[in-house]
Amino acid sequence: MLHGRQAALVAETLRASLAAAAASTADQGLAQAFSGAASLLSRHTADGRSPHPALPAAGATVTRTLPVTKEDTATAMGHPDPAVAVLGSPRIALWFEVVASALLPEPAPDLTHVGAGILVHHVGRADVGEEVTVRATAEATSGRRVTFSCAATAGSRLIALGTHQRVLQERR
């Protein structure tokens, strides 16, 4: 059972994903439904804590372009169908984490950061040899937590949308 901050973390992940989906769809009815659901969740995510000074400001964005290799395919990651030699969802999740991390401070002896939640919607294919552009934008910060909206494209094609949360941690 989720409690307190755990439930707030899940609510914030879903809120950010719904807001990103609302901004990404051309279907006005769906956009309104997504926005409405995000608004309902926002009541459960704002905790009023000031963001840690090491966190990026809301709106900060980083973009990286990454090549799809054979090691990035669903097949290479254990998919049971060897014909699924396209960019795998687990790799997209990792890329969202790695790219978002570029907006955070380098791990140091006293402070690091860890992933605390990720939601990936894999909506299109990318083949070996293609380049995928991954963008992560800091959407919200609270205390030591930052929520990123993420997107991956190959050319003009949307490959994935997602939400990723990272939390600053003091080392013990």
Domain ranges of the chain: 49-170
Residue 47 has pLDDT above 90, yes or no: no
Pick the CATH number of 49-170 from 3.10.129.10, 3.40.50.300, 3.40.50.1450, 3.40.50.720: 3.10.129.10
Q: What is the pLDDT of residues 12-32, one digit of tens each?
A: 888 888 888 888 888 899 889
Confidence category of residue 155, pLDDT binned at 50, 70, 90: very high
Distance CA 105, CA 127 (A): 32
Nearest CA-CA partner of 136 in 151, 155, 146: 151
Residue 129 Rama label (left phi>0; alpha psi -120 to 50; beta): left
Predicted model pTM: 0.87
Contact (CB, 8 A) for 144 and 52: yes
DSSP single-letter state for residue 130: -
Contact (CB, 8 A) for 158 and 64: no
DSSP single-letter state for residue 60: -
Tokens of 139: 């959407």
